[in-house]
Structure 1
């Protein structure tokens, strides 16, 4: 790019410095900063008859925008209704039930998104199963979930290329609240002695998740065509006021497409950023690719479903950073799986350092989230582990988790049982680390020992086991060298019946304490 300017040399220098400084400040401090691209301009200042050429660097984000932002692919509503619309009344006390589902059943609006993705994953799993046992089932597209949001139209669209629905199934599954196609599918599998793997992967159990869309939408359209050979496409439409219409349609792909016209107070769900965050929070580990406006967004694998020996250190590092929202590395890793007394799959981490507001007196949030079959149930669950273990990060997946109808709350006392199992396993994990890597464990204790001490005070059930993890400096050790109570007892003097300790903030104060002199004379070890 060649530009000719007639300016003095000092003015060029000032202009260049001002422009580059402003660009650098934007890049460093703006929360929306984009990569800065340098462009070179050649200026010419005429001195007599000879031009003086100077190079000036201009900075722009224009090229970066073109390079960084991939072209978005939106799902278009290309289907055409060709048949006569049939009006139907819902088969239950619809107004009352829809009001409960849309306004009282779920604690957060964003849950609707998780419910729709779970339904889509169920549909894909059903198609995959039917292709294995029967001939003729169509699979016109890859087994994927596609989501499209459009701010201008204020719409949210989700499409899967799964099993789809016939006219009868649309009336049965969508026309009746709490009529779950997934539940019926599982019952048929049980009767036929079907694959336990397929049963484990079906998420939907209640048949109300679809109606969570009325928390955010005024009008809902469902286009669906069954994968069964010779099936027709249909358009199912409702405004949730007690009735729906059903009509034959052309251009409907095998599978199901749901179009939600968002309410004014839910327009934020037409934001790509919002939906991307919700996917990563609730549905990142669903077993099928999820595409948002043409870009795959669930790129992190659910490592807890894999064999321990198959997971590399790099994979653990990436997964830890994702679930902990951190940039350090884990210093300890526990990949724990068991089928009795509960079917548990989990991965837990201890951060490398305690880098948090806990150092400033603010309590850490719990770091472990509860999943069921790779679907988030409770993010950063406060009830999953005792509070003193809040520094542990990771995931616990309980396959046989009984939920209430909204999938948000647990039934019975399953969580307390799970809590006891996981707490005992974590303490055993720490014991193993203290024996296998004593120096590394002592370093861990210097950062995280305060949590173990808290556990002794508040966890009556586990305090004896936690006490074995405590580490101390003593009058017989070098500065920075730590030992446990067991080691102290093993080397106490003959006839010594008590453990002696000094409460001081620093080792120096203990060494200068007059109380220590009497013990030194008798060669008795004192901890601090």
Structure 2
């Protein structure tokens, strides 16, 4: 009966391989359908893989060893070569930050063994394990064991002694070096993961005893059992019933029994080894079903592939609004797949976004959500970066030399260019992106290095007096529209557009047709202070005390600029100037320490006064927080003295000057109110309620005070001062 079943299975297997071309038949025999030998879609590949695996299970081809491995030869005890027990203790107990990485290291080694076999089979058809190119992991909670098996290249006795008996010797590295000498590396270089030879010893972090059963894929090779408890020596002996490849059985320590739980191990595999080139099966269930899309050509990745992969790496349910497939060989070999979501988590004060890009090396995760790959302001970007030749330390957890800095620099520059390209190709879509993620870009403009800050500035968008409400422009748009001879880029920081358009500082710019950017967010002030200029054009606030720009300069008398003033006119001007100085001096004495100085304004405005050289609202908020004045129950932060510019031709200024002699207290209240009004116009009066009592007194006096009524007939009109042409009164 058994012979009949065997003949039936053999006949079925023969018919299957005979019905397909020879290369595919060879592929089946080594199950290289799981590799890149046959270039089919991952869905088709998965279907073929499942069908073949189902058939193989029925015929017994995918079964593990029917008989348990058994030592039959004399056990030879050996010491680890060239290293001490202390060094072994460091490698196995101090090198790795997390014990769970032993799974990653063993899976990586198994993947390398399978790749070595696949490559060797290209030139030597006799190397055939008769097993699929897979990695099998099994856990047993009752026994407290973790077992991993591959049907790869395997090892001879000498290779086992050399590779396992010498700490930090990498068989994978030696394999690659041999390929380089032959000039036949091909794609194998990109698929070999191990570099340092210490990954195997990570198993001693969790295991009290480790058994390694191995048999070389070379014909007529014997099987061997390598055993060690990590104390500084090991034993090796010939064994029977050993499958071609390598099987590692770890007896877990009592405190590490969690690694005998299937759910725990599955999570670790998906975290670190989800993208290795070969199927990973845990208790006969395939775990790594997600394809490493970043290894494909961008034209071979469908929109649905992007959506599924984005949701996997970002843990999201939406679809990405932007995607970037970026590959380069210089200055580092980088393959990356990056996405930008539709929304972010920091809206409405929700939790701060965590970095969203993970670092891989040869499809094995090195750092999840790495903080080192991109600057913090790009934390909204999601995806994967795989750097093949990134120099890591022996634990594959830390980066060496300056490569991380170089990688960060390259990626940051590429992401900025990516966003700039998206802005040019579809401005409307980019403006919607900026509305959602603009604060991140502004953060970048404040924190980036001087060399990269101008590039980030290209991504900024602001409303402007040249556009309609809601319409935004880049700084380049502003520069392209500048008036002939204009030297500066002008802006104003206000909460709303209405406040900007009604500002006394804006009047002159509006009438002269000079564009002004409207900056609504608190962070915008820090942005312009960090940028300082765009190209050769300085960023200047319209409330600056001194603005030197040819477009704002005009003659005092346009129609008679060449006329020579008469002696009487000169005398009148001199008297008016002296009168203006007297008014300024009176304001200076009246307002006292609240101001630094009082100047006669030359601005073209309809307001009685403005303040300059004042702290911005954003700066005052920060100062209040730092001083503790913002705490409940404490007084407000004292206002910082400012400069006051008075419009001496304004009726209010002239009347307060006239009434000061008859009612000095009332005139003082008017002067204080003028100053507070100027602070309000500048947006720097912390609490307007402080002036309500005074304002009520002024209104009451203006309606009923005899002194005020009398002043109507006795107002002294100072002579008008010649100022900049067109000044409002």
- Shared fold (TM-score, shorter chain, > 0.5): yes
Question: What does residue 375 of structure 2 align with?
Answer: 386
Matches of 1:293 and 1:357 in 2, distance apart? 41
Conserved? CA contact 2:215–2:242, under 8 Å: yes
Task: Name the SS for the 2:413 alignment partner.
Answer: helix
Matches of 1:152 and 1:74 in 2, distance apart? 22
Assess, with a 3 A threshold, how the Cα gap between structure 1 residues 276 and 512 changes in structure 2: closer, same or farther.
Answer: farther
1:111 matched to 2:101: yes
Question: What does residue 82 of structure 1 align with?
Answer: 72
Q: Deviations over 1:93-116 (max 9, x none)?
A: 342122101221111111111110
2:238 maps to which of 244, 248, 251: 248
1:314 maps to which of 295, 304, 314: 304
1:439 maps to which of 418, 428, 436: 428
Q: What is the 5 A alignment of 1:232-243?
A: 232-243=222-233
Assess, with a 3 A threshold, how the Cα gap between structure 1 residues 250 and 481 changes in structure 2: closer, same or farther.
Answer: same
1:481 matched to 2:471: yes
Task: Name the SS for the 1:480 alignment partner.
Answer: coil
1:501 maps to which of 491, 497, 504: 491
Question: What does residue 186 of structure 2 align with?
Answer: 196
Query: Between Structure 1 and Structure 2, which shows a larger proportion of helix residues?
Result: 2
2:154 maps to which of 146, 152, 164: 164
Conserved? CA contact 2:216–2:244, under 8 Å: yes
Conserved? CA contact 2:460–2:474, under 8 Å: yes
1:216 matched to 2:206: yes
Please report how far the alpha carbon of residue 341 of structure 1 lies from its aligned counterpart in structure 2 after TM superposition: 2.2
Assess, with a 3 A threshold, how the Cα gap between structure 1 residues 326 and 361 changes in structure 2: closer, same or farther.
Answer: closer
2:418 maps to which of 416, 426, 429: 429
Question: What does residue 139 of structure 1 align with?
Answer: 129
Matches of 1:452 and 1:309 in 2, distance apart? 30
Matches of 1:526 and 1:272 in 2, distance apart? 64
1:452 matched to 2:441: yes
Question: What does residue 282 of structure 1 align with?
Answer: 272
Task: Name the SS for the 1:174 alignment partner.
Answer: helix
1:396 matched to 2:385: yes
Conserved? CA contact 2:332–2:390, under 8 Å: no
Gapped regions of structure 1 (runs ≥ 5): 1-72
1:365 matched to 2:365: no
Please report how far the alpha carbon of residue 317 of structure 1 lies from its aligned counterpart in structure 2 after TM superposition: 0.7
Q: Deviations over 1:165-191 (max 9, x none)?
A: 111111111111122211221221122
Question: What does residue 61 of structure 1 align with?
Answer: none
1:153 matched to 2:133: no
Conserved? CA contact 1:75–1:148, under 8 Å: no
Deviates more, 1:86-95 or 1:412-421: 86-95
TM-score of the superposed pair, with normalisation by structure 1 = 0.82
Question: What does residue 480 of structure 2 align with?
Answer: 490
2:289 maps to which of 299, 304, 310: 299
Deviates more, 1:361-370 or 1:334-343: 361-370
Please report how far the alpha carbon of residue 478 of structure 1 lies from its aligned counterpart in structure 2 after TM superposition: 2.7
Q: Based on CA coordinates, which of the two structures has the bigger radius of gyration?
A: 2
Task: Name the SS for the 1:256 alignment partner.
Answer: strand
Conserved? CA contact 2:83–2:167, under 8 Å: no
Please report how far the alpha carbon of residue 381 of structure 1 lies from its aligned counterpart in structure 2 after TM superposition: 1.6
Please report how far the alpha carbon of residue 525 of structure 1 lies from its aligned counterpart in structure 2 after TM superposition: 2.8
The structure showing larger relative contact order (alpha-carbon pairs under 8 Å, at least 6 residues apart) is 1
Matches of 1:416 and 1:213 in 2, distance apart? 32
Assess, with a 3 A threshold, how the Cα gap between structure 1 residues 329 and 398 changes in structure 2: closer, same or farther.
Answer: same
Conserved? CA contact 1:283–1:375, under 8 Å: yes
Conserved? CA contact 1:75–1:157, under 8 Å: no
2:90 maps to which of 100, 107, 112: 100
Conserved? CA contact 1:143–1:160, under 8 Å: yes
Matches of 1:487 and 1:87 in 2, distance apart? 78
Deviates more, 1:484-493 or 1:98-107: 484-493
Deviates more, 1:153-162 or 1:473-482: 473-482
Please report how far the alpha carbon of residue 345 of structure 1 lies from its aligned counterpart in structure 2 after TM superposition: 0.9
Conserved? CA contact 2:209–2:227, under 8 Å: yes
Q: Deviations over 1:187-222 (max 9, x none)?
A: 211222222322232221211110100111111111
Q: How many residues align?
A: 455
Matches of 2:486 and 2:78 in 1, distance apart? 86
TM-score of the superposed pair, with normalisation by structure 2 = 0.60
Question: What does residue 523 of structure 2 align with?
Answer: none
Matches of 1:507 and 1:234 in 2, distance apart? 80
Task: Name the SS for the 1:330 alignment partner.
Answer: coil
Question: What does residue 609 of structure 2 align with?
Answer: none
Question: What does residue 122 of structure 1 align with?
Answer: 112
Conserved? CA contact 1:302–1:374, under 8 Å: yes
Q: Deviations over 1:437-475 (max 9, x none)?
A: 101100110111111111111112211011111001123
Matches of 1:277 and 1:509 in 2, distance apart? 55
Question: What does residue 407 of structure 1 align with?
Answer: 396
